[in-house]
Amino acid sequence: MTTAPDRPAVDDTLAGARLDDRYELAALIGRGGMANVYRARDTVLGREVAVKVFRAAGELDDPERRRSETALLASLTHPALVMLHDASRDALTGRDFLVMELVDGPNLREHLAAGPLGADDAAGMLVELAEALHVIHARGVVHRDVKPANVLLAPSALPNRPWRAKLADFGIARLVDDNRLTATGRLIGTPGYLSPEQVRGEGARAASDVYALGLLALEARTGEQAFPGPGIEAASARLVHDPHVPATLGPDWRALIVAMTARDPADRPTALEVAVQASTLIGAEPAGASGFDELTQRDLTSHPAQEPGPEPHSSEAAPEADEPTAATKLLTTPVSTSPESARVPSGAGRTRPAAHADSGSRDGRGPSGLARWLVPVVLIALLATAAFAFLPGLLGAGGSAQEPALTPLPVIPGELGVHLEQLDEAVTP
């Protein structure tokens, strides 16, 4: 059983008593529906143990059955099981008691008072507890009371793991006469964690432990009990609806807990299947996070020298920034022409004629955008006119033919006129 160093001791009449002339009871460290738990010392073996003393006399009233069940439960060993050492009755007080391994640490219910577990801690705990249930189920033992108060957190020697989970109180129903308890209206189990079949009075089975473990895992991740409230209300609630498993836990966690808490026992996984699946959750990243990071990094490195272009104009609305399907991408655009370079005329470096020295645009920035586009077109037209003018002389045909008169060029102000005059001077004989 368990004891926490900072847990205050509770006065009890049996504190200081010596049971079976062997176990010296010290402080009361826990209370349950049927028994109290004491920190004790085994004077024969010289070790500290936990002793669970039943409140009513005669709970373990069949000595032969008690011995056989104790031998079975003591043979079930697993690191996540609290070991049972002995089961006996004190002749002086007539009280039945169990002697178990002492775990110096809080239980899970106390630990969750400070907040829910992280994903890795919860997954590691789920693996340990599911393995422990698999061991006892394989030997025909059903726990019947899986809940946070029965999960003890033993200190761990590993620096990255502060504690390890241990399941306590397994097999109590086999030591106590279950038929007699049912006849007197007593039920082993906690209303907030009973399976639907237990609530219906169909009895507990291995799948019932898996259901309770699913509720425990959900509480460990969220910090909230799935079916709170008074006993009858909490027990009957699961007959009409399933526990709420928030999507924020991620699809893998959600799928596992939903399967474990299925209302039909046949739809639940076995304890071993739970352990295998829970082991894959340790160290798992949230879904989609790594893929988004890889896509962003790939886009950033594939276009190292490009600048993002202007936003395209479209009738379709752009996706929202927080939309999960909107991937981060860089738009490739052609390299734009610098405005400063466009202002430099093709005839830069030549001396302008004095007549046109002050013939620029009014703002002094040179020709307009339309003039820049017209310059090549006018130059091509002038070259074609000059070619036709000199064509007869070059071919030597019809020496007597008259040369056509040249039409004077129109006067065009500004820098375009300068280009026309320069071209005219170049082609005039």
Rg, the chain, Cα only = 45
Q: Judge residue 15's burial from the number of C-beta atoms within 10 Å of its C-beta, 0-12 exposed, 13-18 middle, 19 or more buried.
A: middle
Give the per-residue pLDDT at 61.
Answer: 59
In the block, which residue shows the tokens 């030549």? Answer: 350
Amino acid, res. 281: L
Q: Judge residue 136's burial from the number of C-beta atoms within 10 Å of its C-beta, 0-12 exposed, 13-18 middle, 19 or more buried.
A: buried
Bridge-based pairing of strands 103-104 and 2-3 is parallel
The more confidently predicted of residues 252 and 366 is 252
- Between CA 99 and CA 52 the distance in angstroms is 6
Give the per-residue pLDDT at 83.
Answer: 92
Q: How far is CA 140 from the centre of its chain?
A: 36
Give the per-residue pLDDT at 43.
Answer: 97
Q: How far is CA 306 from the centre of its chain?
A: 35
Give the per-residue pLDDT at 373.
Answer: 52
Domains in the chain (CATH in brackets) are 1-104 (3.30.200.20), 105-284 (1.10.510.10), 359-392+409-429 (no CATH)
- Between CA 290 and CA 324 the distance in angstroms is 13
Sheet holding 35-42, edge to edge: 18-19, 23-31, 35-42, 47-54, 96-101, 84-89
Helix (H) / strand (E) element for 128: namely helix 119-138
pLDDT (tens digit per residue) in 32-67 = 777 899 999 999 999 999 999 987 766 665 677 777
Tell me: pLDDT of 276 over 50.
yes
Bridge-based pairing of strands 18-19 and 151-155 is unpaired
- Between CA 367 and CA 345 the distance in angstroms is 9
Give the per-residue pLDDT at 236.
Answer: 81
- Residue whose C-alpha is closest to residue 265's, from 214, 215, 218, 210: 210
With a pLDDT cut of 90, the percent of the chain lying above it is 41
Describe the crossing of helices 251-260 and 206-222 by its angle, rounded to 10 degrees.
140
> 426 vs 260, 354, 374, 406, 411, CA distance in Å?
94, 18, 20, 15, 17
The residue count of the chain comes to 429
HSE-up of residue 125 (Cα within 13 Å, Cβ side):
29
- Between CA 283 and CA 279 the distance in angstroms is 9
Q: How far is CA 183 from the centre of its chain?
A: 47
Which residue stretches of 176-324 are H helix?
178-183, 196-199, 206-222, 231-237, 251-260, 271-279, 289-302
Q: How far is CA 203 from the centre of its chain?
A: 36
Query: What residues act catalytically?
Result: 145
Give the per-residue pLDDT at 183.
Answer: 47
The answer to whether 329 is annotated as binding is: no
Query: Can you give the pTM of this predicted structure?
Result: 0.63
- Report the mean per-residue pLDDT for the chain: 74
Tell me: pLDDT of 226 over 50.
yes
pLDDT (tens digit per residue) in 174-225 = 776 555 555 445 556 788 999 999 988 888 999 999 999 999 999 999 999 9
Helix (H) / strand (E) element for 50: namely strand 47-54
Tell me: pLDDT of 144 over 80.
yes
